[in-house]
Structures are given as structure tokens and as C-alpha cells.
């Protein structure tokens, strides 16, 4: 799961140009050792390519120039795209509904001046637990526990996504400038009011931007729910691949690209409108 505001601005502290040579040397060493170790753990002696693997790759790449565009198949592909979109939207709405309140609590915004309660810590641990496990691992576990249904898949998307959203929301609420908050507190505003009129409006553009980025990820998550048997673009890609119909695979993959780019553009427009 993405942990940072990948779609957001660059990290706050610009790296200083004065470098500590020790850190740089150590980092280079660690990265070099990691690269060599990972390369060494591959069994290079066995056959790396399948027999006919090369020609399969070539056929697949060539099929990009002849995607399947018959009306019947396009209708099927568009239906699949809609199914994937619907699951993604359902998953992200549930994730926001769960993640937003948890994020507010985790940010410590609700802790009263007298320090009432240490809720932020257990909530942060809960969020970390939710996002530790990949959505598809949640999905196979939920299928074993609850049986296969649409809600099982949506829950499997929503749980880890709420974990990430909650953590990022908490960080964004904490990263707002302090002075306006102090002014609010000085005028006697309760923690809730400080949150509603201070932290929330200031963090909103980044909150919306990150939520959109997660929406984009949710589209991919919804697509791969085909592995537990949910219909959609991933499901059709699997079927077409089994029949080696690479032209159909490309049509479906390009639809996935279109969906993702559409959300990307939508996100850019909304963020520009919010910060205008």
C-alpha cells in the first residue's frame, strides 16, 4: 500500500545540499549489497524463458496494434469496466467513511486540553494493522470466513484502504500551520471547533488529492478481485488470456488505462479548483 501522499506535493523538508559523507557512503553500500544479494538469489542456471516464451512475448506485443474492437466484445468490455468502477467506488466510499473518523482520532485533534485519554495511540496501531495486509490477502481470508459475495470483496478493499487513508489524513491534519489554530484556541474554540474551522479546511486540498490517488488504486484493486471470482476487467483479462486472445487482452488493458487516466485528470482538476 502506498504510504505517502504520492499524488501530493514533494516532501516538506527539502534535502539539504550539505551532505554527510558517512550517511551517503552507508546508503550506497546498503543499496549495492541489496542489489547483488537479490540478483544472486535468482536461479540463473535453470531455463529462464519458457520454450516458445519469446514468440509468445512477440505475439503479445504485436497484438497491441490489433486490439479486438468488434461491437460485441466492446459491449462486454465496457460492462466489465463499469463493474470494476462500481466496486472501486463502493470500496473507496466505505474506506473514507471508516478512515476519516479514525484519522481524526489518530491525529489527536479530539484530545482535550486536559489531555483526556490516549486514544490516538491504539487507533494508530489499529490503522497500521489494517494496512499491513494486502487487499487480496484480506479477500482470500474473508472468502474463507464469510463466503464469496460482492460485499466480501468491497470489505477487503475498504479495510486496508481505510488503514492508509486514516494514517495519511492524520498526518495531513497534523501538518497544518499552527498559528491559525492558536488564534482559534485563544478565542475559546473547543477542540472540535478548532478541527472543523482550522485543521480541516487547511488540509482539505491534500486530503482530497490523496483520496483521489487512492480511488485510482482502488480501480486496480477492484480489477484484481477477479482472483476470488468477482467480475470486471481483471476477470475478462483472465478469461481472454486463457484462450490466448491477446487482442482482447489489450482492449481490456487499455480500458483500464483509460479509467485510471480519467481519475487522474479529475483529481488534477479538483485540486486546482480547491487551491484556486
Partner 1 sequence: MTQTGSSSGRREPLAVKGVSFARLSLYGFLLLAAISWGFILLGGDSGLAEFGSGHTWGNASKFLGQLAGADFNTEPAYLRPARWWETGKMAYDTLAMSVLAIGFAGGLVLLTFLPGARNVGNGGLGGAPSRKWSALYHIVRLTFALTRAVPELVWALLIVFVLSPGILAGAVALGLHNYGVLGKLSAEVVENLDPAPARALRGAGASNLQMLLYGIIPQALPYFLTYLLYRWEVVIRTTVVVGFVSAGGLGRELRLSLSFFHYTDVAQIIIWYLILVIGVDLTAVWLRRLARFE
Least spacing, CB of residue 198 vs partner 1, in Å: 20
Specify the residue, 183 or 261, whose C-beta has the smaller distance to partner 1: 261
Nearest to 79 by CA among 214, 251, 269: 251
Specify the residue, 134 or 185, whose C-beta has the smaller distance to partner 1: 134
Q: Does 270 bind partner 1 (CB under 8 A)?
A: yes
Asked whether the beta carbons of 94 and 158 are under 8 A apart, the reply is yes
Distance CA 115, CA 132 (A): 29
> Exposed, middle or buried by CB within 10 Å (0-12, 13-18, 19+), for 109?
buried
Specify the residue, 89 or 189, whose C-beta has the smaller distance to partner 1: 89
Specify the residue, 75 or 257, whose C-beta has the smaller distance to partner 1: 257
Task: Please report, as residue ranges, which positions from 164 to 193 form the binding site for partner 1 (by CB under 8 A).
Answer: none
The sign of the torsion formed by the CA atoms of 104, 108, 109, 111 equals positive
- Indicate which single residue of 144, 179, 186, 187 sits in contact with partner 1 (rule: CB under 8 A): 144
Q: Does 87 bind partner 1 (CB under 8 A)?
A: yes
Q: Does 81 bind partner 1 (CB under 8 A)?
A: no
Task: Please report, as residue ranges, which positions from 107 to 126 form the binding site for partner 1 (by CB under 8 A).
Answer: none
Q: Does 261 bind partner 1 (CB under 8 A)?
A: yes
Q: Does 79 bind partner 1 (CB under 8 A)?
A: no
Tell me, by CB under 8 A, how many residues bind partner 1: 87
Show the CA angle centred on residue 228, arms to residues 226 and 229, nearest 5°: 60
Distance CA 41, CA 62 (A): 33
Task: Please report, as residue ranges, which positions from 198 to 227 form the binding site for partner 1 (by CB under 8 A).
Answer: 208, 220-221, 223-224, 227
Show the CA angle centred on residue 4, arms to residues 196 and 165, nearest 5°: 45
Distance CA 192, CA 229 (A): 44
Specify the residue, 194 or 217, whose C-beta has the smaller distance to partner 1: 217
Least spacing, CB of residue 268 vs partner 1, in Å: 6
Q: Does 137 bind partner 1 (CB under 8 A)?
A: yes
DSSP per residue, 94-133: HHHHHHHHHHHHHTTTT--TT----THHHHHHHHHHHHHS
Task: Please report, as residue ranges, which positions from 42 to 71 form the binding site for partner 1 (by CB under 8 A).
Answer: 42-43, 46-50, 53-54, 56-57, 60
Amino acid at each position: 500500500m502506498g504510504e505517502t501522499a504520492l499524488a501530493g506535493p514533494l516532501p516538506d523538508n527539502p534535502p539539504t545540499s550539505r551532505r554527510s559523507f558517512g550517511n551517503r557512503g552507508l546508503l550506497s553500500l546498503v543499496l549495492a549489497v541489496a542489489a547483488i544479494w537479490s540478483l544472486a538469489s535468482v536461479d540463473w542456471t535453470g531455463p529462464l524463458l519458457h520454450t516458445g516464451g519469446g514468440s509468445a512475448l512477440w505475439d503479445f506485443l504485436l497484438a497491441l496494434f490489433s486490439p479486438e474492437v468488434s461491437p460485441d466484445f466492446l459491449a462486454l468490455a465496457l460492462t466489465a469496466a463499469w463493474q470494476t468502477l462500481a466496486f472501486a467506488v463502493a470500496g473507496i466510499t466505505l474506506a473514507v467513511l471508516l478512515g476519516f473518523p479514525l484519522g481524526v482520532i489518530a491525529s489527536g485533534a479530539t484530545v482535550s486540553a486536559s489531555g483526556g485519554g490516549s486514544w490516538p495511540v491504539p487507533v494508530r496501531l489499529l490503522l497500521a494493522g489494517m494496512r499491513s495486509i494486502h487487499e487480496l490477502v484480506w479477500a482470500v481470508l474473508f472468502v474463507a470466513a464469510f463466503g464469496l459475495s460482492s460485499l466480501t470483496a468491497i470489505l477487503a478493499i475498504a479495510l486496508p484502504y481505510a488503514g492508509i487513508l486514516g494514517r495519511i489524513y492524520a498526518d495531513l491534519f497534523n501538518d497544518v500551520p499552527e498559528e491559525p489554530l492558536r488564534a482559534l484556541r485563544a478565542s475559546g474554540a473547543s477542540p472540535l471547533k478548532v478541527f472543523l474551522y482550522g485543521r480541516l479546511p487547511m488540509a482539505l486540498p491534500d486530503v482530497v488529492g490523496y483520496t483521489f490517488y487512492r480511488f485510482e488504486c482502488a480501480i486496480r484493486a477492484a480489477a484484481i478481485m477477479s482472483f476470488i471470482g468477482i467480475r470486471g476487467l481483471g476477470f475478462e483479462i483472465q478469461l481472454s488470456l486463457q484462450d490466448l486472445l491477446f487482442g482482447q487482452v489489450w482492449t481490456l488493458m487499455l480500458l483500464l488505462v483509460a479509467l485510471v487516466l480519467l481519475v487522474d485528470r479529475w483529481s488534477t482538476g479538483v485540486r486546482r479548483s480547491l487551491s484556486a
